[in-house]
Amino acid sequence: MASTSPGYGITIRVEGAPSAQPVALVTAAITGAGATITALDVVESLIERVVVDVTCDTSNAEHAEEISKAIAAHPELTVRKVSDRTFLLHLGGKIEIQSKVPLKTRDDLSRAYTPGVARICQAIVDDPSDARRLTIKRNTVAVVTDGSAVLGLGNIGPAAALPVMEGKAALFKRFGDVDAWPVCLDTQDVDEIVRTVQLIAPVYGGINLEDISAPRCFEVERRLRELLDIPVFHDDQHGTAIVVLAALRNSLKLVKKNLADCRIIMSGAGAAGTAIARLLMLSGATNIVAFDTKGVINKSTKTTDPMRQWFIDNCNPNNITGTLAECLAGADIFIGVSAANILKEADVASMGKDSIVFALANPDPEIDPYIARKHATVVATGRSDQPNQINNVLAFPGIFRGLLDANAHKITDELLVAAAEAIADCVSPEQLNASFIVPSVFDPNVVIAVAAAVKKCV
């Protein structure tokens, strides 16, 4: 059975007669079904009944339902309620706006709003650069999506994308003290997206594009960077690439290999895959072979997509052909940003000595990490319940903290590489091992180091 996760945590309220020892029965049922108990509370104890709340992590929604049914089927137990802890967390949304100033008296209102606020407006008319000094602009980022490529769920639209964008905004605040707000657009037309973001840009000090599918995302980013005087960052591209480069830099130290000498097999040639390949090549990689849904990309690949053309022009130097499994034989590194369970154990076993596997498809990776670790020296995923989580939260809070503090206008490749090196260097030589190639997302030094590296490049 797949590993359990807090993302599928449930709390079950169960009632039973004291003589039946309901605590023992519930515990046995849950652990026997493969779930992980994280809390158990007796909420009511009477002569005729005992009521227990038991919280457990399950492996998926179906597993959670199986556990509830197994308990309910026991003749001595009654299930009174089952609560999905993830749904409970999202009730009413995850973010809110709070005033930074007191609004308790007429004096407060006179300065924060009319008539005093009119003086601030006039100051900005007289000097437009004062908008950054006298408003939220200098610390605010728009998290913009069209809902076309959300997590591993695909094109689910702007409303269904909102929980993810809320989460992103919460991460901005928690890790970078950046005020971010979801902007979910009900259009997937490039012209409309670009024009809408251009129109709302005066409020923001930066734009974070999120979950916009390729190739649309490339044009949106390019055009917005040309139009706006604030930094535009597509996190699915550059954030992922930065953290992959950081993790790979430390992994190669462990296996004592040079990036330039490694044969890298990539599964996924969309936004993330393209950005990863470009950043790796900027850092010295010379032999990357990429696969998309149609197979290996080589000189015979036909495309009108400029990003696919980039792979044709710059990757697969030996113009190899074959299946993903065939090309993995003897390879040093696998990087997956594609789909779940596309690799078999034999595929990883066929890789070269001291291989590195980054199976980053979310929520389910290209191969079960437990299986991959049987053969690869270093294994990473995108999951928070596994070691070596390749998580963009290591990058974007510090990047935007640095960009906003420096009043930056553009993002350069030099900046991306510097951010990756800063993340990698947050893992000391004494800490570095096969299960710890990137720092914890809760390490406060990461944002500080990344922001400092960014400011040096601006």
20 within 8 A of 76, measured Cβ to Cβ: yes
Q: How many CA atoms lie within 13 A of 67 on its CB side?
A: 36
State the Cα–Cα distance between residues 172 and 49, nearest whole angstrom.
47
Buried b / exposed e along 438-449 (16+ C-beta atoms within 10 A):
bbebebeebbeb
C-alpha distances (whole Å) from 156 to each of 55, 153, 159, 377 are 31, 7, 8, 37
**Active-site entry in 113, 294, 370, 456:** 113
State the Cα–Cα distance between residues 401 and 324, nearest whole angstrom.
39
Q: Which residue has the tokens 């259009």?
A: 187
145 within 8 A of 183, measured Cβ to Cβ: yes
Q: Which residue has the tokens 């300065």?
A: 111
C-alpha distances (whole Å) from 237 to each of 35, 108, 174, 374, 392 are 35, 44, 22, 30, 10
State the Cα–Cα distance between residues 181 and 174, nearest whole angstrom.
13
Give the pair of three-digit tokens for residue 142. 């728009």
Give the pair of three-digit tokens for residue 309. 């053309």
**Active-site entry in 69, 100, 104, 168:** 168
State the Cα–Cα distance between residues 313 and 257, nearest whole angstrom.
26
**CA 349 from centre of chain:** 28
Catalytic site includes residue 370: no
Pairing, β 140-145 against β 36-45: unpaired
State the Cα–Cα distance between residues 286 and 52, nearest whole angstrom.
59
State the Cα–Cα distance between residues 438 and 180, nearest whole angstrom.
25
Catalytic site includes residue 168: yes
Annotated catalytic residues are 113, 168
